[in-house]
Structure formats: C-alpha cells, structure tokens
Chains A and B, each alone.
Chain A
Amino acid sequence: MSEPDFRRLHPASILIELVKVLKTLSFVLLILAMQCMRGAPGERTEIWFALLGLAGVASAYIRYISFRYAVVGGSLIIRQGIITKKNRTIPIDRIQNINITKSFIHRVLGVVQVQIETAGGSEAEAALPAVNEDEAQELKRRLLVSDAAPPVAGEVQTDGRVLYQATPKELFLAGATQNRALAIIAGFGGLVGVAANAGLMNDNQIVDGVKQANAPWMAWGFIAVLLLLAGWALSIGSAFFVYWGFELTAREGRLRRRYGLVNQVENVIPLRRVQVVRISQTLIQRFMKLCQMHVETAGSFASGKADNGQQAQSSTNSTVSPLMEMSSAGSLIHEILPDLDYSDREWSEISRKTVLRHMRSAIIFSLVVTGGLWFVIDTWALAAVPAVLGLAALTGYLRQRTVGWSMSEGIFASRSGVMGRQHHFAPLSKVQSVTVFQSPAQRGFGLATLTFRTASMSGSAAVEVLDLEEETANSLADHIKVVSSELAWLNPDGF
C-alpha cells in the first residue's frame, strides 16, 4: 500500500497548545509573579519567566511538528512524538462519538478541536487540538461512514431533521428550574470567605451592619433572599451561556447536537451506540411539567474536560435536551429508541413492604437520635421518635408511589426519585451485567434491588430498581439474562 496522505494540524494549534501549557503552569507562574512583586533586586525572576515561556513555546511547536493524522482504510491513524514515537490506530467501527468543540481562542483563530471517543475510558481517545473547520467536517464524514446505512446513490446530503431546538424561553426556564442556585450560593459564600481572608473585605462589616439594624432577623432574611436571587440569576445566565443555540438533529441514524455561546460544542453520536436514555426532572420542573433528556453512551460524550473543565459537568455532558415539555418527551425518545412507545408504557410499582422496611430502619435511627439527645434535652428527646418515624413513613410511602419499573418492547425502564425524578430507558441488547442485591433488612422483608448496567461508564447510567418483591427481582433478572444473552450474540460489540 502506498504511503497514505498524512495531514498536519492547523498551525494555530501551536498557540492553542501554548495556552494549554500556560494553563497547567499557571500555579508556578503565580508563585513566580508573587516573587517578582516582592521585587528583591538581583533575583532575576524575569529570567525564569522567559525560560518557562520558551519551554512552553518549544513544546507546543514540537507537538505541532510531530503530529500527523490520516484515515487509512477502516482506521484513523495518529502519529505523534519526536523522541518517543507514538502511533495510534483507532478502528473506525469502534468510534463511539465525535466531538467538535470551539473555545473562545478557537473561534478567534477560526479553527476547531476534534475529539474522537471509543469505549476505552473516561477521556477522549484521540484529540486533534486545532483543525480547519472544513477539514473537521470532512474528517467527521469519513469517520462516521461505516456506521450509517450506505448512502443511496444520488441522495442529496441534507442537514438532517431537527428533533429539538432550544428557544430562549426554554433556556431561561432551564436555568430557572435547575437546582443549581444552592451550589452557586455555596460557591459565592466560599468566595466571600476567601476575600475576607485575603483582607480585601472585612466580613465584620456585614455582621456589624446587621447588628445595628432595628430588626436583625429581617436583615438576615433580606440577605438570604438577595443571595438566593443572585444564585438564581447566575443559574439562568449559565444556562444561556452553556446551551445557547442548542440544536439536536438526526440524519442517517446519527444524532448531532450543537450548543454553546462562547465555547461551542458539536457532538455526533450513532443512534445504535445509545446505551441509556434518561429523563430527569427537578422538583420545580415536575410541577411545571418540564424535563431534561440525556443520552448515555460508552464514550464519555463530554465536551472536552481538559479544555473547558467547568463546562463538562456530568449533568451537562449527556444532555440532548436542556429543557422541554414533558408531553413532547415521548416523541423525542421515540426518535432515539424507535422501539419505545413512551405514552403506552405500563409501569409496575415496587413492593408495598418498602414502607415497612423504611420504618424499621427509622426505628433504629430514632433510638440512636433519642439516645444522643437525651443528654441535651432530657425527656424532650422522646419527641424525636414520632418525628423520625413520621418522616420515614412519609418518604417510604412516597418512594413506594414513585419507584417503578417497566419491561416491554425489549426495553427495561425504571422510574425513581421522591423529589426530583428520573426515568431510565435501556434496551436489553445493551446489557453488560444484571445484579440482584439484598441487604439484611431487605432479606427480612423478602425484598431485593435490581441493577442493570450497560457499557456507559457514567454512574447515572445504571438502571436501578429498589425494593422489588424478591420473586419479581429474580424473574426480571432471569428474563433480562435470557433475552439479553440472545441479543448479545447478535451484536457482540455491545456498544
């Protein structure tokens, strides 16, 4: 075979790599900068700066010079390195998904980053830091060629059907109904603490101000509300920032999504690689009949942790719909898992005995609490018993009403979550293992937990049903075992 056409990256990759190197060195640089500020003459910290900069440029340049890639036959080949040579071959039919991302620097330079993921781990198997946009699209086309049905001759290349598009209103609601506010407030609190420590702000100022007010509790309440509003606004802002222009399209058996205001992301995932479809709802979203939809794959399907770390949170990286009406979730899920009829699905509840199991562990817990409180508030501690028991009865009851499962059309589904709610849908052909688990308390009541795992490594992809009747758990496991083993032989890859 003749030497294939090996390509180089775009020269902009030197700059991008340099930024990356500087980012990893930022801590060292910070220390150096502080040394500089101290300004002892004759220490020559500037020289260290220059040396570090030079080393950064050199390593970025070497990476660029030594990096070559090509699509040969059925594989993507990447050559890398000058002293230690690395030659990586990725079979095209092992590719799980392809991410094309643009950070702010990428956009300024007019290039994109391409990441290719196989089922091999939590990070992208291969990353091309900077490629010409057209070339990236061409590469994507060639890499995904074997996954879809062979193109019909004369068929016009379309952009695909749009399955979902986020309107600004939906993005607003996505941010407004997410439970991010608390996390942001916590972060804000931490920031204030740091600022106070650094002497930039005197935290006593606030405390004193409050103490001087006529009604201190009102002032605290006011601050709390203010923080909550600020967190809320930030949450909405970040939803716009992350999901701006979110669009999900389907073409030739593949899903493609695009989103992002500053850091733009484009993912392509073959539909037959979908392991689990997940619908999640926060408590507020449940009241408003809204939901989020996620697709779990065996690749990390993430938007490049190394480069835009803040963005690639586990909650965002598998999202195929940041927010939609619950009523239209059925039609979208039908596009992703064609066998699934969402609206007609029958759900089975878990065992009523789950309430009793909750009560039993609550009795033990309440005794411990009472024992502890006895030393503090004497006989009042006995009040803990009905309080804990009542709470346990309530959550047990709610859980019994909530948790459910459903098995039909070759898809196993679970429903869970007392406050926020999750629906999981997993095709039996994707099962990697089924586990029936029984804790001592569950054994006492004849209950068991069933867990269904696919090749997706994300923890949220495990399909779990708590407190099933023991016989139900066993027969379900048997059924899944038999059907999925059959299917597994037909598709030995499994992902």
Chain B
Amino acid sequence: MALSVEGWTHLEPKVKTLWLVQAGISGVIMTVIFGVVGTVIQSNADESLTVPVALIGIAVGLLLGVIKAILTGVKYAHTGYQVGDDDLAYASGIFWRTQRFVPRARIQHVDLTAGPIARKLDLVEVSISVGGQPGAAITIPGLAADDGERLRQTLLKTAAKHDEMDDGPGGSPVPEPPVYQEPPEVSEAGETDERA
C-alpha cells in the first residue's frame, strides 16, 4: 500500500469527535455562504433562470459538510506519527498523502495548543518547528493532553542532551569565551530566545 501508515502511532481516537464537530461547524458556514450567494444570484436574475440556485447552494454546502463528516474515520486511519531515535515522522492525507520527516536535532521549538472544543475533549495539538521554515514543519492535530506533554518533553530532552555533548554551538572553535552562555538545563526554548 502506497505511503501506508501501518505500524505508526495513531492519534487519540477522540480526535474523530473533534473533527466531526469541526466538520459540522464548517458545514454550517459553507451552507450559509453558498445559500446566501445562491439567493443573491436568484433574486437578481430574470425569469429565464429556471434552476433553483439558492436551493442548490444550500444543498452543496450541506453535502460538503456531510462528506467531511463521513471522511473523519478514513482521515483517522491515514494519519499517524512515529517517534524514532533520531527523527520524527508524520503522515496525513486521504487523497493527497504526505509523509514528512524531521531530524530531532533540528527541532527548534515545540508548541502545544488547544482550542475550546479540544480542551473539552482533553486534546492538544502539537506543533513542531524547525529552522528556516515559516510556521510549523509538523502539526500533530489530536493527542491526549498528557501524551502531548510527554511527546514535547521527549523531543526537547534529547535535543538538550545532545546539545551538551557538543562543544559549543556549531562545534566551531570560539577564540574568546562567549558572553552568552546557555544554562545547562535549558532546552531549545532558550535557544530561540537567544536568537530572537
């Protein structure tokens, strides 16, 4: 099977509920938008327009929402992540499939976010950022809050441990002792501050 996620860690099953709610919300929004557009077209048209555009608009909006809701199960099956010794991998997408790998040493910072619905379900979204790319390289949408926190700790701990093994940033010899010393226990979050 092409780009399969077999053997990968799946998200927290509760994420399906989150996606369902999100599908519902976006379905309602799309129904309203399409409905309004359809109504406007219909009210401005002359008699030659026999097709009920407003109704079609509403139907399309509803249909899109329903499709999105139906696909949550498939989406869940195709989404997964893998925490390797040296890398983190994330796979997603039903039709347009993506697998992305990030070396763990390259991780700059890890964010946990939770919206109101996700908070109700005790879920968090874990965003992993690497250097030089705007936004997060990998966003894992639904983990149990504890799992998310544990994942963050794991990812940052290794980064910090290997930082200590290395002699100085970049491993290059620095003639004068740099004024800016990284505190031993600080993880990547400290590094980001330093660069900012």
Contact = CB atoms under 8 A, between A and B. Distances in A.
15 contacts: A73-B179, A74-B174, A74-B177, A91-B195, A93-B168, A93-B178, A146-B173, A150-B175, A435-B101, A436-B99, A443-B97, A453-B132, A488-B106, A489-B165, A494-B131
A495 interface: yes
Contacts, number: 160
Nearest to A439: B96
A488 B194 contact: no
A162 to B, nearest CB: 26
Given A73-B176, A454-B132, A494 B2 contact: no
Given A119-B131, A431-B103, A485-B103, A437 B96 contact: yes
A433 interface: yes
B137 A432 contact: yes
B66 to A, nearest CB: 21
Contacts of A457: 132-134
A93 B133 CA distance: 20
Contacts of B176: 73-74
Interface residues of A, number: 55
Contacts of A266: none
A94 B163 contact: no
B121 interface: no
A209 interface: no
A477 interface: yes
Interface in A134-166: 145-147, 149-150
B195 A494 contact: no
Interface in A432-447: 432-440, 443, 446
Interface of A: 72-75, 89, 91-94, 118-120, 145-147, 149-150, 272, 275, 298, 431-440, 443, 446, 448, 453-457, 470, 474, 477, 480-482, 484-486, 488-495
B59 interface: no
Given A443-B2, A457-B132, A484 B103 contact: yes
Given A73-B177, A490-B171, A91 B101 contact: no
Contacts of B171: 490-491
B133 A481 contact: no
A93 B132 contact: no
Given A439-B95, A477-B99, A492-B169, 18 more contacts: A73-B177, A73-B178, A74-B177, A74-B178, A91-B169, A146-B172, A149-B173, A432-B131, A432-B132, A433-B102, A437-B97, A439-B96, A443-B2, A448-B3, A470-B2, A480-B101, A485-B105, A488-B103
A489 B180 CA distance: 21
Nearest to B98: A437
B12 to A, nearest CB: 24
Contacts of B170: 93, 272, 491, 493
B105 A488 contact: yes
Interface string B115-150: 000000000000000111110011000000000000
A446 B97 CA distance: 12
A474 to B, nearest CB: 8
Contacts of A433: 100-102, 106, 130, 133, 137-138
A489 B105 contact: yes
A434 B195 contact: no
Of A119, A431, A435, which is in contact with the most chain B CB atoms at under 10 Å from its CB?
A: A435
- With a 10 A CB-CB cut-off, give which of A438, A439, A456, A474 has the most chain B CB atoms: A438
Contacts of A491: 170-171
B64 interface: no
B173 A436 contact: no
B2 A120 contact: no
A183 to B, nearest CB: 27
A357 to B, nearest CB: 14
B166 A490 contact: yes
Contacts of A492: 105, 159, 162-163, 166, 169
B178 A91 contact: yes
A119 B132 contact: yes
B51 interface: no
Residue picked from B99, B101, B103, B176, most chain A C-beta under 10 Å: B103
B196 interface: yes
A482 B104 CA distance: 11
Contacts of B6: none
